[in-house]
Structures are given as C-alpha cells and as structure tokens.
Amino acid sequence: MALARSVRRVFAAVAVVATLPALAAPVGAQESVGAGRASDGRDGGHVRTAAPAEQTRSVDATGQNRTVGDHEGYPRRTQLREFPENPDDKAVKLGLTPYHDIAPQLNDLQERSDRVSAEVIGQSTQGRDLYLVTLTSPESPREAARQERWRELIEQDPKAAAADERLAREYKAPVWINANIHGDEWEGTDGALDVIERLATSRDADDRALLDSTRVYLTVSNNPDGRVAGTRVNAAGFDVNRDHITSTQPESRAVRDVLIETQPLVMIDEHGYTGTTLIEPGTPPHGQNYEYDLYLKHAYENALGMERAIGELGHDETARADIPFRDFEPGEWDDWPPIFTPMYSIYHGAVGHTVEVPLRVNRAEYDELPVSELRRRSGINREVAGATISAAVEYADRNRPELIDDQIEVFRRGWAGEPQREIPDGYVPGFGEEDRYSVAFPRAYVIPAGDAQRSAKAAARLVDHLVAHDVRVRRAEHTFHLDGTRYPKGSYVVDMHQPKRGLANVMLADGKDISGDVPQMYDISGWSHGLLWGATVKAVGASGDEAPAVRTSPVHAAAPTGSLPPSPRADLALTLTDGADVRAATFLLDRGVPLTRRGDGTLVVPASAREHAEVAADRFGVAFAKARTGGSEDEGGDHGGGEQVARPVVAAAASDDEVAVLRDLGFDVRTVSTDTLNAGFDLGEMSTLYVSTGLVHGELNAEARRSVAAFLADGGGLVTRGAGGAAFNEAAGVLPVTAVEGRSDANGVVRMTGGDGPSGAGTGADAPEHSFVYSPLWFTGLGADVRAEQRYGDDPLVSGHWLPAGDAGGGPADAAGQASVVSGTGPQGARAVLFGTEPLFRDHPKGLYGQVASAMFWASST
C-alpha cells in the first residue's frame, strides 16, 4: 500500500460564501460558480487506494506495500522491509539513527501501539523506501472515511464546510512534518522519531487527547540516499528543496502527494545549521500569490511558540531563535519562490515553516571535530527538532478551530475569485509597507490547441504537470472566442476561480521584476512555466470578469499529441521545438535510422523509416511533418541532402542537473573534469565536449591540453554554458569573442530576440522568446566567423532579481541587445556554441532543451 488516495468526487458546481474572513472583504468581492476537479490520476494516471486498518501489511522486494486486509481505518499496520546494516552510514558517527534502523523502529512501534501507522510512499533515487508515519487515535473505517470527506469538502465546497457544525467539532487537525530533505542535515529525522515514540506510547491524558483531535503525519527522511552518504543533495545530485515547483525527483514527487492528500493546516520542514535556531516566517519579498494575511498571523505566533519551546530546553545555544521576519533585513531569508517545501505548502492551504536546527555537524565540521563534540551538538540539535515539532503540533491543536476556518477561507477566496486582502501596518509586530506583495489574478489561462500552440507536446506536459499539482484544468468542447482571440476546440482552460488559484498563478504567470524591492535574494527570484516550458500560454481577462463562455470538461490527463502526416512515401521532418522531439531523434538514431540536418536545424527522417517514426510519435508524443523539398538549405529545403547526423557522444564537465537533462534527452554522456582529463581520459570516442563547470583549461597538464587540441582539430564540437564555459573557450582558442559577466546572483526570466540570420547552428530558429539566466553572460567583439544565434531583448528582465554590479555595470541595461548565444567555427575547424543563458537549470526551463540539442547536433556534425 502506498499513501492512501481514494478517487475524489467531482463537484460539478460549487457555490462559495464568505466565511469569517480575517480582514474586511474588499469592495467588489464576487461569488463564483466553480467547475469540476481536474484529476486524481497524477503522474501518469496511477490512482492509489486506501489502506487497510487493523490488519498487517508487508512490503515486497521492490518496496511496494502489499495489502493483506480489506479495511480502511487506523492503525494501518505495515510490515516494512528492513535494509541490511550499513556501518558506513554517515549518521552513525553522530550517534544518530542510521537509515537501516528506521524500519525496525517503526515496525516495533506498530506492534506496541495502536496510535502509529507506517507506510511506504515511494522510493528514493537509489531505491530506498520513503516512509510516512501517521500518529492518531484509532479510527474505524467509517470514521476515517468521514475525515476524508471533510477534508475534500474544505477544498471542494468551502461554503458547505463552513456551515458543517460537526466538521467544526470533529475534523482532526492535520499536521505534516517533513525531515531530512537535505541529507546531511540529519537531526530532523531523529527528532521526529522521538516525537513518534512519545506520542505512540505516552500514557499522559493530554497526549492521548491531542491524538483524538489531531493527525500528525511525518515523512521521517525525505532524502535517505543523502542521509546515508552525508550529502545535501539526493543521489542524482539535485537539491530536493529546490524542486517542488518542477517535481523532477522521486523524493519531491512523493512528498508533493503527501501534501495534497493530507492537506495539513500546519507544516514544518526540519533543516540545519544556522548557528542560532532559525524559524520562519521569512523576510520580504513575500510570495505575491499567497493569501498572506491568513498565513502570517499563524506563522508568526507559531514561531514564537517554537522559540519558547527551545528556550525551555535549557541550553545556552537554544536560549533564543532567529525569526527572519522579526530579526533579518529584507532579502536575507525570503519566502518569495515556490521551490521550497514550506513555501510550496502554503499554496495548498498550510501554514508552512522552515526550521533550522543550530549547531553545524556536517561538511568540514563532520571531518574535523572530535566525535564527542559532534555528538554533543547533534544531541542538542535533536532536542531542538523534537521541541519545534511538538510545539507546532500543540499550536495546531490549540488553534484548531481558527486554522480550519482559515484554510476554508483560503479555498473560498479562490473559488470566489476575490481580490487579496490589503494587510494593515502592525498586523503582526513589524509588518509594514516593505511586506506588501500582491497580484491581480487573471480570469483564466488558455493553453491553445491547434496552430496557435507552439508545441502540442509541451502543452500536454504542462497540463499534466498542473493536474499532478492539484490545479484544475478543463478542455474546451468547441471553438470559442475570448478577448478577441479565437481558440479551437481542444484548447485547455485554467479557470482561475478555483481553490488553489495561487498555485496556478505562481506556475503560469510571468512573475515580477523585484530588483528594486530588495538588495539581494536568498535563491532564485523568477520562474515561469508559462514562459519557460515551451508551450503557448495566454492570460485572459481580470478576476472579476465572467467565466469564459465555453462548454468544458475536466482534464484527468492531456490528450495524445503524437502524429505523422498521411503521405506514406514522403520523407518526414522533425523540428526540435521540445525536449520530446530531441528524445524522438535520439531514439531513431539508436535504431540506426539515418537522419540529416537542414541549415535551420530541422531533422529529416527518410520515408523508409516511417515505421520507426510511428513508434517515436506514439512513445514521445511528437508530431512529424512532411519534409519540404526545393529551396535553399538556409530556407529549409534539403534537396534530399543536408548534413548527416550522428548521436552525440558527450564529454560533459557540467553540473549534475545539466548532466541529468542531457541523459534524459537520450545523449550518451560521460562526465569529465580537470582531474579526469589529467588522468588520461580519452576524448577520441567523443563527438562533443560540453563545458560549464569543473574543467579549467589552465589547470590541465601538457598531455591533457594536447588531447583537447587534438579533439578540436579532429572535428570535435564544443558547447559551453556560463562563465566557466566561456573561459574554457577563450583559453582553448576556439571562438574569438569577449564574454561579459553580469552580477553573479542575478537570475530570472529574460526576453530574447532573434540572432543574425538563418545560418549558423540554427539554435535560434525555433527557440522560445524567453530564456532563463543565473549569473547572466553575454558576448561582445564577435569575430568575423562568429554569429549571434540569439540576443537579449531591449528590456531583458521579465521577472526575477538583476541589479548592476556596482560601478562595473553588468545590469540588464548593459545586456540589452547583446548576444546571449553565439556559434561559429574556430581556427582548428571545431564548431562551437556558447550559451550565456542557463537553458538546463535544475531541469526547469524545459522549453529550452531543443535549443541545446540543436547546438549538440550541429557542433558534432562536420
């Protein structure tokens, strides 16, 4: 059994009504009729079923729960599979719980207590089980079903939920604790296990009463691979706490589903180490899509309660906490981006907090401090984690009625399409003008079908992603007009009168340029699925407008998008608009299909390979077109010719996220670095060298430099990204350009314009009009044989944070009109493409992957 997920009822029409708003309702607030629910079949349509109660379940060799009973109450006892002892688990040195001891502890507790249930909600990158523990008083199947119905009612029909007196009395307050999302921040797991042990076995009347009115859900280790290895990232090299809006990793998808299916009132994410315990709420800028008034009043009071709890531990190191909202300057620890677990959880109706335990025991300290000192520190950290968890649970129990009302109000405002509330100065101590962030929601988003859609596959992926995140999407059943634009049947409509409108908007909107609001940011400041995921997305109307006049049906999964033209004897054309197109191309190359490449980057598939193309169209959802004939190569005609394409074999000196994307696209990738080349890595079998980080030409020994020079002289291609790649290009003497660096922490979504014409690598031909930057770079002084493939727009920054680097410039105005991507052939004969943008960043800007692949194919085709 995995996390309980029953198929939820679809409410065809949902009436909404004001329910005890925290602030006065705005002028012009309207009621709205909402349409049905999007989907329960997240991630490919798999629907999880509810777990049995009062029975024993076991876990098979793959880690999947197998049901032995047929009931659905609590406890839901699962015999978790136990992993072999691993003395190299990094937690052992700290006196903390190694991963292999977690399952035995939970199995034992399930035997001893009827208040604890453990289940497997997925597997980590390396196949370790991810555990969810539920603490609650026993419930019959009928009682558990009633709780589920009330939870659904709160989201689906907040008017009815607000009027349900029995719900108000008996709905159990859900609280979710997430621990160890960063693998080398261990103690949250141990603090959670301590709380589980106490509440599962306590004879104290207050503890027992708490579990009568509360359900506490704990994901005890969100990153077990990192826990064992002592790394912040997971085994794929991703920071899981930066992945929640993109969901590339199994660990983030698992807890996303926990969040959606438990709908917590309060959420805590346990981290470390900040010297002094840190407890959110954060500094400005605050996420502009939140119902921030309903969040902040609870977050601030809960933080104060957690601060009191750690003070009562009696350690000098825990006498106080840092509460960023209260204690830090704007921009030092913000809650702006939706990438972090607590910030993401706010969009699902939770009051989310990051908690950072104080005393560092990882990295250099792990290796250098005596074991006794490490264990002293980890012991204090463990107590802090346990105290903050207990205090948060108690806050939820103590403030249960108001928290329930306020979660109902979050969803009611969404269904009603009401404007956000204006929050007055002093709403909580210190709240002022610098804390005011809000947004005017559009009436809807339309993801068009037909010719108006840049990429049907990208649109389908975006729709499925929205549905997986509990955003409601509907499909138009006939042609309609909206804001003067005609949209064909099959277009997708995201009506913004829905309970999680903030989440829909934070994904689809352009975002905001906040460069003038704060001097710095903690992490990224701009993102947009609407601009960066490769699909055409249109915002239409204002929130107070009438609903789009079109009959729609709820979407559970996007419609198929793969197709071939009807002419069976015609050659086929494949335009690399999307990563799926790239995957189809590498699939065909793997099967020995000869592909040729036109000057505009289009790939031509011979008619004789139509059967293979049919498989690719079905598998990857790509649309092949009939290949044109005639015309010049630059115009797209192939004359039956063009360059022969081979599947690139890439030597990549790159970050883990870049390597992951390149491999997902089907490229054969071998990771390299300065050290591996100095050790004699053979570049002879490679077709392309991709350089962004970890390879410094000046640090190569003489033999490695000769190897690089020979590779480039023998037709090897070079593709680079960022300052590290540009420096390598310069040192290797490939393209004559000058790389200009913007401010290192500048990041966001940027406008792009076309390059210098159709010749060159062709990476700008079908590239989106927007890109992503982090530490932006541009190129000047282009040599005669160097072509700008793409340039920054006149006013580049759409959303994010990008300031000049003092008197040195480097701001958006300096980048305007400059070359962002360049290509050319170096004096050795090597083809090279240099990116000043970040097209593979954290596997997020998916609409840019075709651009990178075009560079790879061109650079390796000589």
Q: Which residues are catalytic?
A: 356
- Look at strands 77-79 and 116-123 and give their pairing: unpaired
- Start-to-end CA span in the chain (Å): 54
- Look at strands 738-741 and 770-774 and give their pairing: unpaired
Q: What is the C-alpha to C-alpha distance for residues 649 and 719, in angstroms, rounded to an integer?
A: 12
CB of 624 closer than 8 Å to CB of 613: yes
Starting at the edge strand found earlier in the chain, the sheet holding 351-357 runs 116-123, 129-135, 214-219, 173-179, 266-272, 351-357, 278-279
Distances 549 to 11, 63, 131, 440, 493 between C-alpha atoms, Å = 19, 48, 46, 21, 11
Please, which residues bridge with residue 269 across strands?
178, 354
Contact partners, residue 111, CB within 8 Å, separation at least 6: none
Show the DSSP H helices in 417-500 as ranges: 456-468
Q: What is the C-alpha to C-alpha distance for residues 307 and 303, in angstroms, rounded to an integer?
A: 6
Residues, the chain, total? 862
* Number of neighbours of residue 459 by Cβ within 10 angstroms: 26
Q: What is the DSSP secondary structure assignment for residue 39, as one 8-state letter?
A: -
- Look at strands 595-597 and 643-645 and give their pairing: antiparallel
Contact partners, residue 644, CB within 8 Å, separation at least 6: 594, 595, 596, 597, 861
* Number of neighbours of residue 185 by Cβ within 10 angstroms: 26
The gap from C-alpha 654 to its chain's centroid, in whole angstroms, comes to 20
Whether residue 324 has a cis bond before it, omega within 30° of 0: no
The gap from C-alpha 706 to its chain's centroid, in whole angstroms, comes to 41
Q: What is the DSSP secondary structure assignment for residue 694, as one 8-state letter?
A: S
Please, which residues bridge with residue 750 across strands?
771, 797
CB of 861 closer than 8 Å to CB of 643: yes
List b or e across 106-116, with b for residues whose CB sees 16 or more CB atoms inside 10 angstroms: bbebbeebebb
Sign of CA dihedral 14, 467, 233, 839: negative
Collapsing DSSP states into helix, strand and coil, what is residue 778?
strand
To the nearest 10 degrees (0 to 180), the angle between helices 371-398 and 205-213 is 60
Q: What is the C-alpha to C-alpha distance for residues 595 and 586, in angstroms, rounded to an integer?
A: 10
Please give the radius of gyration of the chain, using alpha carbons only, rounded to the nearest integer: 28
Sign of CA dihedral 323, 326, 328, 334: positive
Collapsing DSSP states into helix, strand and coil, what is residue 176?
strand
DSSP secondary structure string for all residues of 708-769: HHHHHHTT-EEEEEHHHHHHHHHHHT-S--EEEE--TT-EEEEEEEE-S-S-SS-TTSS--S
Our CA angle for 803, 808, 812, nearest 5°, is 35
* Number of neighbours of residue 569 by Cβ within 10 angstroms: 7
